[in-house]
Amino acid sequence: MIAPASLRRIALLRRAVVLRLAGLWLAGLCAGCAAGWSSAPAVTPETPVEAASETPQTRPVLDAPRDNGDAPYLDDEECVVADAADILERESLPDVAEGRAELGRLIQRLTRDPQAPDSAAPQELPAHAEPAQPASPIAVPSDAQASFSAVVVPDATAIAQLSRAQCFDILKRARIATEPVNEDAPFVEMPLRLTSPVEGVRIAPKWTPKGQTRHDIMDCRLVVALIPLAREAKMRGAEDIRFFSTYRPLTRPESTCAKGAAGKTCRQQQERWKKAEAGKLSQHHRAIAIDIHGFTMADGRYISVLDHYERRDGSPPCQDKPKTPEGIFLKELACALHAARAFHVMLTPNANKAHHNHFHFDITPKANWFIIR
């Protein structure tokens, strides 16, 4: 039988061994943590999960959009799925990761230079420094709306269904002057040209003088849709809107073939014409689309889509956060028109490379949906 004194000695020896092993384990753990932090920047607990997640090398690459430059396309969903899976994976880490992070924060507090400033503490500006000033805002005329007509413009779906009499009545009540078109304008139901500003805003081709090209021909319904565009632009300080084209005429095949065109060219024109007669048309062929180049502001600045739109490929335009006054103007204008359902299709430079230098806005017959890309 073991004496009580011997049992006490055995218990003390066992406790000493356990404490020694625990000390060695903690020392190794702290050494490993210290080595890890000495070779990599610390991750502060305030950093959101999303901010440290993306690595461009692992993101799937978007395929180039396969469209004709006018057709909208859906965003690639693989990026969304990959991001969601990555977040779920990181949020499901075992609790031990949180324990290690807490230990790291403790080590940082213990080893930080007591003279070093706390990064979380607010920093005062030197006496000679001034806070950064925001970029110059775009002046907005306070009386812009006072000059607008009393016409209530319906949404794009209702505009697409207007009859000739209804459409021209709206133009008359909105005090918009137009002139008839003498040139051939196939597939345009109500062809005309603008001869006056729309709600105080001049809308004209960027380069070609009026009447020297068919590209400025518009369907009456497009002019009605330009009323909310002009209002939104005017309220944001714009006085002039310049566009590349509204109408892209198709050449009649008999005209091409009669001039002795090569057999292949003649056949191509015939095929295009047959597709158009079957209803396979761009809205530009109907003159119910406009490609906007830019805006002249009341202070003389010219804001072009090419130079000032802050493009983010594939990003939903109305979720963007542009930094410059010009970028904010373009984004807010497009999103206000989308919210008002002024056009069925609105394509910005975010849509694809084909629209890197202009806004494409159109009325789509028989559509009951409204998209912006």
Q: Residue written as tokens 């305030």?
A: 46
353 and 208 share one domain: yes
Amino acid at residue number 148 = F
Into how many domains does the chain fold? 2
Give a yes or no: residue 63 inside a domain.
no
190 and 339 share one domain: yes
Using CB atoms within 10 Å of the CB of residue 261, give its burial: 0 to 12 exposed, 13 to 18 middle, 19+ buried: middle
pLDDT at 35: 46
199 and 337 share one domain: yes
pLDDT at 116: 42
pLDDT at 68: 37
pLDDT at 281: 85
Give a yes or no: residue 228 inside a domain.
yes
Distance between CA atoms of residues 45 and 41, nearest Å:
13
Distance between CA atoms of residues 344 and 373, nearest Å:
11
Contact (Cβ atoms closer than 8 angstroms) between residue 305 and residue 292: yes
Sites in the chain below the pLDDT cut of 70: 1-146, 209-212, 255-256, 258-262
Give a yes or no: residue 199 inside a domain.
yes
167 and 27 share one domain: no
230 and 362 share one domain: yes
Contact (Cβ atoms closer than 8 angstroms) between residue 249 and residue 214: yes
Give a yes or no: residue 275 inside a domain.
no
The residue segments making up the domain with residue 168 are 155-248+284-372
20 and 163 share one domain: no
Contact (Cβ atoms closer than 8 angstroms) between residue 332 and residue 319: no
Could you report the per-residue pLDDT of 183-240, keeping only the tens digit for each?
A: 888 899 999 999 999 999 999 999 876 656 789 999 999 999 999 999 999 999 999 9
Give a yes or no: residue 301 inside a domain.
yes
Among residues 156, 71, 67, the alpha carbon closest in space to that of 370 is found at 156
Give a yes or no: residue 114 inside a domain.
no
Among residues 174, 283, 296, 280, the alpha carbon closest in space to that of 233 is found at 296
Please report, to the nearest 10 degrees, the dihedral formed by the alpha carbons of residues 106, 109, 110, 114 taken in order: 180
pLDDT at 147: 78
CB within 8 A of 36, min separation 6: which ones? none
What tokens were used for 191?
């062809």
Distance between CA atoms of residues 290 and 337, nearest Å:
14
Global pTM reads: 0.60
Give a yes or no: residue 167 inside a domain.
yes
Distance between CA atoms of residues 320 and 331, nearest Å:
8
pLDDT at 265: 73
338 and 191 share one domain: yes
What tokens were used for 251?
């050449």
Give a yes or no: residue 307 inside a domain.
yes
Among residues 353, 354, 345, 359, the alpha carbon closest in space to that of 308 is found at 359
Among residues 104, 86, 91, 79, the alpha carbon closest in space to that of 29 is found at 104
324 and 177 share one domain: yes
Structure letter (DSSP) for residue 207 = S
What tokens were used for 168?
């021209």
Contact (Cβ atoms closer than 8 angstroms) between residue 263 and residue 196: no
Could you report the per-residue pLDDT of 119-139, keeping only the tens digit for each?
A: 333 333 333 333 333 444 444
Q: Computed over its alpha carbons, how large is the radius of gyration of the chain?
A: 33
pLDDT at 10: 65
